[in-house]
Amino acid sequence: MKKWIGSRLNRKLCLCFLVVSLIPLCLVYFYINSRYSEKLRSDAVVLNQLAEKNTAILLEDYLTKIEYISNLFYDNDVQAIVRGAVGPLDNYNARQLLEKKVRVNLDLFHILDDVDQVTFLRHNGDNLDIMNSSGYMDVIPFQYDDRIALNRYKNHVLVPIESLDSSRSGKYVYIRRVNDTDPRKGTLGILYIVFDGNKFDELFAELGTVLETRILIREGEKVLYTSFDAKNGELEQMENTAQLLTQKDRMPGRKGLVKWEYGIENLGIHIVFYDTLERLEENVRALSRLTGTFIWLTGIVILAASLFFSRTIVRPVKRLRESLLQVREGDFKVRAQVETHDELGDMCVAFNDMAGEIDRLINQVYTTQLKENEAAIKALQMQINPHFLYNTLDMIKSMAEIYGAYQVSEVIVALSGMFRYAAHSPGFGVTIGEELRNLKNYMKIVNARFGGGIDCLVDVPEELLEEEIIRVCLQPIVENAISHGLGRGGSGGCISVKIRRREDIIFAEVEDDGVGMEPARLEEVRRKLAEPPGGRDGAENGNVGLKNIHDRLRLYYGEEYGITIESILGEGTRVMLSYPCGFSGKGRPQELIQAADERQRI
């Protein structure tokens, strides 16, 4: 595996693309499934329950309209009509008047087509067949124990018609005992309203088709309606296996049946809904399948894009590498093919120019002259010309400004300033102002790298700007605070630089609000600082900056000066630097000063 990854650049790039793209997608997929699957499942049950409840409310509204028709017979005028019908002619007139009132109200509630018959059985045994779709002569001999209705709320009850007349089915009868508005006269009679049972099927059709919900309407233990065949023992089996759903926030198992009831207290009936959990979760599973399919398709697209882009990037690099190998073998006629107009294309153009220039120079210079000057050329190649470095940086700055990369230009200027400061500042010491300008250049580079998330607050009195300080001492301390105290600048932070003079001593303090150090680590750093100058332990432990500055201060100014460090874990670190004011190394042994200068150059 390691050989496969390291053998080809395009494989590395492809693998990087896949890791960067696919791993977040997979994490999101598993996070959604683990975090929201139960909530989606619970929501599916709740939404299903709301749909069923809405249907139950529609049924309750429908039965309430039937009940309202019966309320007409508590009107004084209607009761006067019923009481006044004492003969055949009066009965006929009463039926005509009552039919008109009943039909108007049925039509008003849009249930005229559902009601087949309205019959009022008076207490003396006479029928007032107010409305009958089969004609007035075909009166069903209703027989119902009115004592049952009398003991119920509002003295009404709903029964299947076959329980009253075995010759008919598919109908329901609303029965209500109507009392006389005059309490002294007792019962006026019993009202029978026959309506079509297909209305139940219409209301429950969508639940049964879409959600496969099975519905049962019962009064106590008596079954009034079922949307399924309850005669083959299916109802008993469902009752034995279904789990009663009583709380919306409590979910049963993942398989089997759940049921819940909606009570219509007005009629004393209950609507029981039976649902299959597997069916309820179908949408959740479909969403999971859709999400998984999307992840797979996205992965395939990412894989294809990774292969394409990695090949697009690597192919010019490979061809440039082949050309470089040919140049190394002495073939200066080779030219790299320019395929793109980006940085890789610029590299190919630069290579072609370089190869052409080398070929031209070789043709101009005699082989003998090259051999005679070979030693001198090798010696010159071992030297570093600072002017070439500065000129190159200036050229890069100009190119950056041409392309509009002004931030890059500022960083290059800052870097050039730091190089000039480190290489050309004469002597061992510089002014504090010069050191702060070097620190300012460094902070420009740091903030360009980390997006400006690090603040550096400088508090130095103006009268101290011309005081001497050893060269390149503040910048390494600040760099150390950024690298270790602020977590490499990943989360930003603040660094304060404060310089004060107390009597004849100058104190420079660099403090950060970063992570701080553990006590054991702090003691280790202090122990390394206390070691004699010249040791290599500081470099091996990542403290070369602090150790180098501390040793230079002790060698130049004396053992009583140098660096002290304080740190609190989780709150930050403070590094304090001290040296005598106005001291330029006079009176110190010359060998120590030279040693300090030598360590600075190192």
Q: What is the pLDDT of residues 414-443, one digit of tens each?
A: 676 666 666 554 556 788 898 898 888 888
Compute how many other C-beta atoms are within 10 angstroms of the C-beta atom of residue 494. 14
Judge residue 440's burial from the number of C-beta atoms within 10 Å of its C-beta, 0-12 exposed, 13-18 middle, 19 or more buried: middle
Which range (458-467, 503-512, 535-544, 558-567) has the least confidence? 535-544
For the record, the structure tokens of 32 come out as 């959604």
For the record, the structure tokens of 196 come out as 């079509």
Query: Is the pTM of the predicted complex or chain greater than 0.75?
Result: no
Query: Half-sphere exposure of residue 319, counting CA atoms within 13 Å on the CB side?
Result: 19
Strand partners, 430: 469
Report how far Cα 597 is from the mean position of its chain's Cα atoms.
57
pLDDT, averaged across the chain: 75
Please identify which residue in the block is written with the tokens 């894989």. Answer: 303
Which tens digits make up the pLDDT trace of 164-203? 777 777 888 888 888 888 888 888 888 889 898 888 888 8
Strand partners, 149: none
Coil vs helix vs strand at 261: strand
Q: How far is CA 202 from CA 143, 197, 235, in A?
A: 29, 9, 21
Question: If you average pLDDT over residues 1-19, what whole number do you get?
Answer: 58
Angle value at C-alpha 262, between 278 and 152, nearest 5 degrees: 150
Contact 428, 471 (CB under 8 A): yes
Judge residue 496's burial from the number of C-beta atoms within 10 Å of its C-beta, 0-12 exposed, 13-18 middle, 19 or more buried: middle
Coil vs helix vs strand at 165: coil
Q: How far apart are CA 68 and CA 72, in angstroms?
A: 7
N-terminal to C-terminal alpha carbon distance within the chain = 42
Which tens digits make up the pLDDT trace of 288-304? 777 778 777 877 887 77
**What does the pLDDT read at residue 317?**
74
